[in-house]
Chain A
Amino acid sequence: MENEETREKFAKAVREYTPRIFKMIYNMTGNYEKTRDLTQDVFLKAWEAYDDFRGESSLYTWIYRIALNRVYQYRRKKGRKDIISIEKIPDIESESNPEENIINDFEKKEIKQKIKELPDIYQNVIILRYFENFSYSQISRTLEIPVGTVRSRLHRGLKIFKSSLRSMYDT
């Protein structure tokens, strides 16, 4: 397995995808240090299983799926409550977009908390669509669900998210 071509291909994937996988795991866990460990685990697992990668999906999709499973596994082990507590996050840079001044940093944290509290099936599609800008078909391939399900989960997820926001502003 470990010929030079394989190693070079994998090294390229590590350099290219580490920031994206790190960001995705961070969005799902909110724990900076744990995200670092989990990101390493994901690539270790990917390297061990690299022989099984058949090229049916893109390499990124394949690694992304490993990352999702790793996050689920971590959640099951730690218990969801444990990992959604917001901690101090180092080196955060706000994205510059027009909506930025609509809400403040405190609200941002609250909103992120609400996203993390969403059931996994809705959280995944929302993160992939609105944070990672995946298309419906990319989400469908990544999560191995039909495109119609992607759309309905987005719709339902947004609905749940909106009602949780309402409760946030009501309190």
Chain B
Amino acid sequence: MTHKKYVKLIQEYIDGEISRANKRELEEHLKTCTECRKKLEDIKSTVEILRSSRQEVKTPESLDNEILNKTIYRKVKPVFNWKLAAAGIAALLILGILIFTYVKILSPPTSMKKAPQDIEKIILTHKDSTEKKTEKDKPVEIQRKDKIEKDIIDQKFEETRLVFPEEGSVVGDSFDVVVILRKDEKEIELNIDGEVKKYRAPDSKILFIESRNLPFLDRGMHYISLGKGRSNLMFYKEG
């Protein structure tokens, strides 16, 4: 084996990357070759000097949080897609024309038309506002603000669920987060953009949390979920 080959092996030897057979061969060679022994010591000391200059630098505190706020929790303006909007308008126009054609040509004469039936409406209305305290470190206590349709209240909910905002909802300055609580649940944890806060509804199965009781939300995209591990929904706040 040439000295050139041994130089290659010396590098691998120092870096702990040498094969067992080559290691044995090199060690045998080093016993008799002064030049290679010198070479080995030379590289070894250079590596030691290099390593000794290594300094541990302290990562700035909360840098990871800053990064998370700019990535997975970032607030972005929704992009208005002109192509999609144009396609939507075109589709609506075509649909309109088709319906118009159908009504004109195929619908029975007016005298034969049935009287329109009432459309069933389920509207959750607020009558009064009875929010309680908002003390720091304590769950915010929120009572039911209104009378909800009895049949909705009497339903047995297997699981506490977030009714509003839904995925992709657009909300204004003032809105309510609506949560239907499981029968035995009185308290929930709401996670908005990673900030978790507790809310309590002592006498209610439906919890309304007014936006003023939420962490401040500026204009843009936000994420909301119930406690840890529950599905995270995105909503957008207009300002």
Tell me whether A2 and B67 are in contact (CB under 8 A).
no
Inter-chain contact A103/B52, CB cutoff 8 Å: yes
B17 x A151 contact (CB < 8 A):
yes
Q: A103-B52, A136-B15 known; A89 and B57 CB under 8 Å?
A: yes
Measured between alpha carbons, how far is A32 from B17 in the docked complex, in Å?
33
Structural contact, A92 and B51, CB atoms closer than 8 A: no
**A64 interfacial by beta-carbon distance below 8 Å:** no
Residues of A within 8 A of B56 (CB): 23, 92-95
Which segment of B40-48, B84-92, B148-156, B173-181 sits at the interface? B40-48
User: Is A15 part of the contact surface with B, judged by Cβ < 8 Å?
Assistant: yes
Query: B48–A92 contact, CB under 8 A?
Result: no
Q: Is B132 an interface residue (CB 8 A)?
A: no
**How would you classify the secondary structure of chain A's contact residues: helix, strand, loop or mixed?**
helix
Number of interface residues of B (CB under 8 A): 35
Q: Which of A2, A40, A103, A135 contacts B53 (CB 8 A)?
A: A103
* Pair A151/B11 contact, Cβ less than 8 Å: yes
Main secondary structure of the interface of B (DSSP, over half): helix
> A61 CA to B59 CA in the complex, in Å?
20
Over the window 52-68 of chain B, the binary record of Cβ atoms lying under 8 Å from chain A Cβ atoms (1 yes, 0 no) is 11111111100110111
**Given the complex of chains A and B, what is the CA–CA distance between A165 and B50 in angstroms?**
10
Contact A2 B72 (CB under 8 A): yes
- Bound together, the chains give a CA A165 to CA B56 distance in angstroms of 22
Q: Do the beta carbons of B17 and A10 come within 8 Å of each other?
A: no
Which single member of B15, B55, B72, B225 contacts A10 (CB below 8 Å)? B72
Q: Given the complex of chains A and B, what is the CA–CA distance between A156 and B119 in angstroms?
A: 82
CA distance A116 to B166 in the complex (A): 52
Residues of B within 8 A of A39 (CB): 63, 67
Q: Is the CB of B71 within 8 A of A92?
A: no
CB nearest neighbor in B for A147: B17
Of A65-73, A75-83, A124-132, the one touching chain B: A124-132
Per-residue CB proximity of B192-214 to A under 8 Å, as 1/0? 00000000000000000000000
Q: Would you call B232 an interface residue if the criterion is a C-beta within 8 Å of the partner chain's C-beta atoms? A: yes
* Beta-carbon contact of A14 and B68 below 8 Å: yes
Interface size class of A (residues with CB under 8 A): 35 or more
Q: Given the complex of chains A and B, what is the CA–CA distance between A2 and B231 in angstroms?
A: 12
In the bound complex, residues from chain B placing their C-beta under 8 Å from that of A158 are 43, 46-47, 50
- Tell whether A92 pairs with B57 under 8 Å between CB atoms, given A18-B67, A130-B50, A158-B43: yes
Question: Besides A89-B57, A93-B55, A93-B56, 7 other CB < 8 A contacts?
Answer: A7-B72, A7-B232, A23-B59, A39-B63, A40-B63, A158-B43, A158-B46
Interface residues of A (CB under 8 A from B): 2, 4, 7, 10-11, 14-15, 18-19, 22-23, 26, 32, 35-36, 39-40, 43-44, 47, 89-95, 97, 99-100, 102-103, 107-108, 111-112, 115, 126, 129-131, 135-136, 151-152, 154-155, 158, 161-162, 165
Chain B positions within 8 Å of A, measured between CB atoms, are 7-8, 11-12, 15, 17, 42-43, 46-60, 63-64, 66-68, 70-72, 225, 231-232, 234
Q: Which 6 A-B pairs have the closest CB atoms?
A: A99-B52, A111-B53, A47-B71, A91-B58, A19-B59, A18-B64
